[in-house]
């Protein structure tokens, strides 16, 4: 097979300070689902008590989005518990990655445990190299993607803030931000 026709599971990273990292991942998730692929999303920071629009949509169409965190790290009342949840989420992600149940799996906000040093980036990459099925598309989102993860990935997109309504005091909008 020529290089131009070779298919492989991509490692895709959406990073940067701009809005749209998770939204872009959800777009890929929906596109893959529409093509009959098995998809799922594990969220490393978001809490199951949150009320995001994507949760409503995913339930209606049967897409799994599993929030495994306790909310934004800057709001954590117990960082040890927040870290423990992130480490537990990585264990769940490892199980799902090797399960061969998915064609596309999103690890939403997975860059945070790497950036904060809760997980060793080099160890995560070594584990992925040794265990990620060749045909699995793995999408990783979040700010501050480590340089080693960017180097390892096949596709990296950096979201850049050009203008945001927050700057003019406009609050988050349902259907846009959540």
pLDDT digits (tens, 9 = 90+) for 28-87: 999 999 999 999 999 999 988 888 999 999 999 999 999 999 877 666 778 898 999 999
Q: Give residue 2's pLDDT.
A: 56
Q: Give residue 142's pLDDT.
A: 98
Rounded to whole angstroms, the Cα distance separating 29 from 104 reads: 7
Q: Give residue 72's pLDDT.
A: 74
Q: Is residue 167 over pLDDT 90?
A: no
- The structural domains of the chain, with segments of one domain joined by +, span 8-158
Which contiguous run of DSSP H or E holds residue 11? strand 11-15
CB under 8 A, 24+ apart: contacts of 84-88: 86/44, 86/45, 86/112, 86/113, 86/118, 86/119, 87/113, 87/118, 87/119
Residues in the chain: 178
Which contiguous run of DSSP H or E holds residue 68? strand 64-69
Cα–chain-centroid distance for residue 91?
15
167: its two tokens: 């700057």
135 neighbors 103 (Cβ within 8 angstroms): yes
CATH topology of domain 8-158: Rossmann fold (3.40.50)
Is the pTM value of this prediction over 0.85?
yes
Q: What mean pLDDT comes out for the span 89-116?
A: 98
106 neighbors 40 (Cβ within 8 angstroms): yes
Q: Give residue 60's pLDDT.
A: 96
């Amino acid at each position: 097979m020529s290089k131009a026709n070779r298919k492989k599971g991509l490692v895709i990273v959406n990073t940067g300070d701009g809005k749209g990292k998770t939204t872009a991942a959800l777009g890929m998730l929906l596109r893959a689902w529409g093509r009959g692929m098995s998809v799922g999303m594990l969220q490393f920071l978001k809490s199951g008590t949150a009320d995001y629009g994507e949760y409503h949509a995913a339930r209606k169409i049967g897409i799994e989005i599993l929030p495994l965190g306790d909310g934004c790290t800057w709001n954590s009342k117990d960082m040890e518990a927040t870290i423990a949840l992130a480490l537990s989420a990585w264990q769940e992600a490892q199980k799902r990655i090797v399960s061969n149940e998915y064609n596309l799996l999103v690890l939403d906000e997975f860059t945070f445990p790497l950036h904060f040093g809760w997980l060793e980036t080099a160890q995560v990459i070594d584990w992925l190299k040794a265990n990620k099925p060749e045909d699995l598309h793995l999408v990783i989102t979040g700010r501050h993607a480590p340089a080693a993860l960017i180097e390892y990935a096949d596709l990296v997109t950096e979201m850049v803030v050009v203008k945001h309504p927050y700057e003019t005091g406009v609050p988050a909008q349902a259907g846009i931000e959540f």
